[in-house]
Amino acid sequence: MSAEMIFGLITGISFGFLLQKGGVVRYDKQLGALRFKDMTILKFMLSAIIVGMVGIHFFEIFGLVQLLYKPVVLGENIAGGLIFGLGWGLLGYCPGTQGGALGEGRWDSLWGILGMIVGAGVYAETYPLLMDRFLDWGISATFPCPSCLV
């Protein structure tokens, strides 16, 4: 294993540990947020974003970090976002956190993991068609928020 792979594993273990400690991997917490009953996952996510955002941009000033954002493609981001959301509302787990849900014994996430593997396969099958017809919908550009504000 390369150093990069080992670091990926260490990052995952630390992140999974914190996800579980924060209690955000559970179905009840995820659906709780979507039903406006329990905002634990938002508290967790936004805290991570605030800390990470400050740190990443701080190190970016000194050239220690290079930003790598994904391009904006409105059609993809909006349609894909909506479709993901609909599936998320049924499953109640995210691609990243359901491994954590399995880790704390919530084994219904196994079905979600299997479904996601199938879903990725279905996407790969339909990708050429999407590429022809839809994937260039909307503006396509790579820009960060600060530059769209000024």
Partner 1 sequence: MEQKSVENGGWSPYLAGGLSGLVIIVSVLWTGKFFGASTSFVRSVGMLENYFDPERVAQLDYFVRYLPKFDWQLLFVIGIFVGSLIASLSSNTFKWQGVPDMWAERFGTNPALRGIVAFIGGIIAMYGARLAGGCPSGHGLSGIIQLAVSGLIAMVFFFVGGIIMARLVYCGGNCK
Segment 113 to 142, residues that bind partner 1, using CB under 8 A:
113-125, 127-128, 130-131
Q: How far is CA 49 from CA 45, 55, 85, 120, in A?
A: 6, 10, 20, 27
Token pair belonging to 144: 């960060």
Is residue 46 a contact residue for partner 1 (CB under 8 A)?
yes
- Count of chain residues binding partner 1 (CB under 8 A): 116
Give yes or no for a contact between 24 and 44, defined as CB atoms under 8 angstroms apart.
Answer: yes
Is residue 12 a contact residue for partner 1 (CB under 8 A)?
yes
Q: Which own/partner pairs from 51-58 qualify as long-range (CB within 8 Å, at least 24 positions apart)? A: none
C-beta of 125: minimal distance to partner 1 in Å? 7
Is residue 61 a contact residue for partner 1 (CB under 8 A)?
no
Cα four-point dihedral sign 18, 16, 37, 46: positive
Q: How far is CA 40 from the centre of its chain?
A: 16
Is residue 107 a contact residue for partner 1 (CB under 8 A)?
yes
Q: Of the candidates 5, 63, 133, 150, which one interacts with partner 1 according to CB under 8 A?
A: 5
C-beta of 136: minimal distance to partner 1 in Å? 13
Q: Of the candidates 87, 133, 136, 150, which one interacts with partner 1 according to CB under 8 A?
A: 87
